[in-house]
Chain A
Amino acid sequence: MAKDRQDIPLGTPLQRVTPLIITFCIIAIVGPWLLSAYWLNTFTTVACLTLVSATVALLYGQLGMVSLTQFALAGVGGWVCLRVIHGWGVPFEIGLIAGACAAGLFGLLVGLPALRMRGLYLALLTLLVAAAFQVVVNVIGFPDGGEGWTGKVVNGQRAMIDRPLAASSDVAYFRYAVIWMAAGLIWIEWQKVSRLGRAWALIRKSEAAAISVGVSVVKYKATAFAVSGALAGLAGGLIAGLNGQLDNTGFHTSQSILLYALVVVGGAYHWVGAVIAALLIRALPALLNDHGVDGNLANVFFGFALLVSLIQGRTGIAGKLADFYKFVRMSRIVEGSVSWGLIAILLGVIAYALSWTSFAGAFFISLIALLFRMAIPGVLWMLLGFFGKRTQDHAEALEAKLSLRLVKIMKAMGLRPDHRLFKRTLNWLFIGIFVAWVAWGVFGLAYLSALAIIWGALGLKVLWEVSLYTYVLPWRSQIDARYPKPFANYR
């Protein structure tokens, strides 16, 4: 009999949210150093949209319910937030919370008839609500300091709301938004492994079974709707605070639908998926616009990605990443962070010395390049999977053939053969082209210097692996003996 696989404990809720806390702390602290004013505002919006995506993911991932109305709920939150602040001159936070409460109630209202509804009709109902909301907002518009119930200025200066006192600068507001977003995500993540999440899991598995053990399906579904509505409304208020006003073109039905699609692409079962979805919906079009590429092409990509993710089995990019990290050992993580950190610092210093770009820029690009080194093969593999298992097999066979030929050539030339050289070269090419393009857009770095930094980082990593291998080995086994695979049960 085969040796039994060791199961790793799931961890307490606190342990599960720790990575989130660390990640968002780093982003909140480091983000403003790295980003220009334009990109900082873009990323503040991304933070708000992450919260909206997380609510879509909550309903879809935890309860299997498709809600196409979350963006409209953000609109409701923003509307109420603006109205309350303009009307009574209350502090920003009170407006924010009023907006969240209103959106939560509205979400509950939409959700109530849906509690006994099966998937498809819930999706249709929420789509219809989103479409109706769009019409209403188009007619009424968002409040901008005017009189009366609609708070609309008829002829005259549109008023803006003030940002919170503690966060009036762009940098501070970025951190402010990230904190709210992180709080929302942490709450959701916490619930997933607590009583609420377990009840949601029972309902998702089978409503009949859940009822038979005394779970009130209505209560738990309603909670999910109200909470996701409130969080979306909170995000809407944050967006209103960022710009001081809201624009009715920003809450189009297409955005609600797109958001759902991108949450599926990003991954509905993992918080990283919400971040990816928000990046895709806001940062990718901004990046494309920056390069003068028609932003509409993003829609083509999104549609394609949605099809791929649905065909590939619904865990999305985050799910693929989680699958990958499941097998990562603690020692690799320690070694990785040390080596990545050192390489990125070294390149940052060099780039700064050569005055190519700021230290932070080069540091960031190196890290991104090293990250993509792990992710690109998986993503390409997934894209190939869209064309079927056979295409994947063909590609694999082709790669093996080419690798083998390369090895032969290397042997003939008297070099030490490297079976992974072909794959690696391909990978480096992709990463180089893609990351350099991003770097060019975000940091305004020249293409060639960006390529130098990226390939420098990748090369240094290989050098690290080759030269330090024997020294690191004993450390590795020591660490692994004490700490098992940290992400084995993480999803």
Chain B
Amino acid sequence: MQMLIPFLVIGISVGAVYALSGVGLVMLYRASGVVNFAQGALGGLAAMVCWQAIELGYTDAIGWLLGIACATLLSWAYGRYIAPTLSQQDRIVRAMATLGLAFMIMGMAQWFWGDDPRRLVLPTDRSGLEWNGRRLISDTRLLALGIALAVTVLMAYILAKTSFGLKMRALQSNRMLSSLVGVRVKRIDTWAWVIAGVLAGITGLFMGNMVRLNPTVLTFLVIPALAAAVVGRMTSLPLTVLGGLAIGVIESMVILVPGLSRYGSATAFVVAIIAILWYQRHGITLSRDNSHLE
């Protein structure tokens, strides 16, 4: 049992980052109906920009802010200028368009930074929680867990209690009717993209630190985040967080199972596939996709 605890702890912290990314995806989907495949690429950009800033001699804090700002700015620009041109299209088309954004960001980052091995070191890496005289978990991972939980609670609060959240939910159920009763659809949409950008930036920094600092790898880490969001049926924040944590923990624990250890990175996909099939068998619709009735 003692042996399990480090794996459990690491799993939870990685899962928390998946969850955070998943929450970003769900927020954006609820508000604007877009599944953002560029979430990972935006995060990757944030991490690379942050690394570059620190490399150039700026203080860490400026690096983080710059990274997150870059992701947010790009996300905002896409949401403000490109997403509206597609707003009349099917959800599937709007989702696939973000793939275009993802490829553009990823290509630029690969071209600029290449595949050299790098590390993004955060000051919180150095300290951590000790247990039985061994480092159990670094402060970075604790921070990730804390931020993930805090952001989820904050987002849930915004959705449930504020007028902004109310408008977001209105958009989710019917965009056209919402605009008729005076919700400023574009403005809410743009804000949702900004929020998604900030969350993408934060998760990008953590992923760059915990997984690997490489634009391609970080871009495709959107898939585990999507898996978490799928567990949450693209709508439920608590389920998304649970999904993310579960994926992280299983992924980390599988290493201990002989014969399966090398398949660990498939966990997210398998969990999400099972979730999709289970939801389908039990007749639970995946999110409120009314597009076929429109």
Binding site for B on A (CB under 8 A): 64, 66, 113, 116-121, 123-125, 127-129, 131-132, 135-136, 139, 253-254, 257-258, 260-261, 264, 294, 296-307, 310-311, 314, 388
Contact = CB atoms under 8 A, between A and B. Distances in A.
Given A113-B280, A124-B226, A296 B102 contact: no
B265 interface: yes
B98 to A, nearest CB: 9
Contacts of B277: 113
Contacts of B85: 311, 388
A135 B273 contact: no
Contact of A299 (B86, B104, B226, B289): B104
17 contacts: A64-B92, A117-B286, A119-B90, A123-B96, A124-B226, A124-B276, A128-B230, A128-B276, A131-B269, A132-B270, A135-B263, A261-B100, A296-B111, A297-B107, A302-B107, A310-B100, A311-B82
B110 interface: yes
Nearest to B216: A254
Contacts of A299: 103-104, 106-107, 110
Nearest to A110: B273
B96 A128 contact: no
B292 interface: yes
Contact of B92 (A66, A125, A253): A66
Given A261-B103, A299-B110, A311-B86, 11 more contacts: A119-B91, A124-B272, A125-B273, A131-B223, A135-B265, A135-B266, A254-B216, A261-B100, A302-B107, A303-B102, A310-B93
Contacts of B286: 117, 121
B292 to A, nearest CB: 6
Contacts of A306: 96-97, 99-100, 103
Given A66-B96, A261-B99, A294 B91 contact: no
A114 to B, nearest CB: 9
Chain A interface, DSSP helix/strand/loop, else mixed? helix
B35 A124 contact: yes
A119 B35 CA distance: 12
B170 interface: no
A319 B91 CA distance: 22
Contacts of A129: 269, 273
B15 to A, nearest CB: 17
B99 A303 contact: yes
A131 B266 contact: yes
B100 A296 contact: no
Nearest to A206: B292
Contacts of A123: 92, 95-96
Interface residues of B, number: 46
Contacts of B291: 118-119
Contacts, number: 132
B110 A310 contact: no
A305 B289 CA distance: 28
B176 interface: no
A218 B285 CA distance: 19
A16 B19 CA distance: 51
A128 B272 contact: yes
A254 B263 CA distance: 19
Contact of A136 (B97, B102, B266): B266
A296 B110 contact: yes
Nearest to A264: B96
B89 interface: yes
A195 to B, nearest CB: 25
Contacts of A253: 220, 223
A139 B269 contact: no
Nearest to B291: A118
B108 A300 contact: yes
Contact of A297 (B91, B100, B111): B111
B101 interface: yes
Contact of B107 (A121, A264, A303): A303
A257 B99 contact: yes
Nearest to B109: A296
Nearest to A294: B111
A116 B286 CA distance: 12
Contact of A303 (B101, B223, B273): B101
Sort A-B residue pairs by CB-CB distance and give the 9 closest, nearest first: A299-B107, A303-B103, A303-B104, A300-B107, A306-B100, A307-B100, A296-B110, A135-B266, A119-B92
B262 interface: yes
Contacts of A311: 82, 85-86, 97
A300 to B, nearest CB: 4
Contacts of B95: 120, 123
Contacts of A257: 99
A260 B108 CA distance: 20
A392 B199 CA distance: 36
Nearest to A305: B100
Interface string B250-294: 000000000000110110111011001100100000100101100
A116 B280 contact: yes
B204 to A, nearest CB: 18
A185 B209 CA distance: 47
A125 B280 CA distance: 12
A388 to B, nearest CB: 8
B241 interface: no
A118 B90 CA distance: 11
Contacts of B86: 310-311
Contacts of B273: 125, 128-129, 132
Contacts of B14: none
B93 A128 contact: no
A257 B223 CA distance: 12
B227 interface: yes
Nearest to B108: A300
From A113, A135, A257, A303, residue with most partner B Cβ within 10 Å: A303
A120 B102 contact: no
Contacts of B82: 307, 311
A305 B97 CA distance: 10
Contacts of A298: 107
Contacts of B92: 64, 66, 119-120, 123
A250 to B, nearest CB: 15
Interface string B5-35: 0000000000000000000000000000001
Nearest to B229: A124
B248 to A, nearest CB: 16
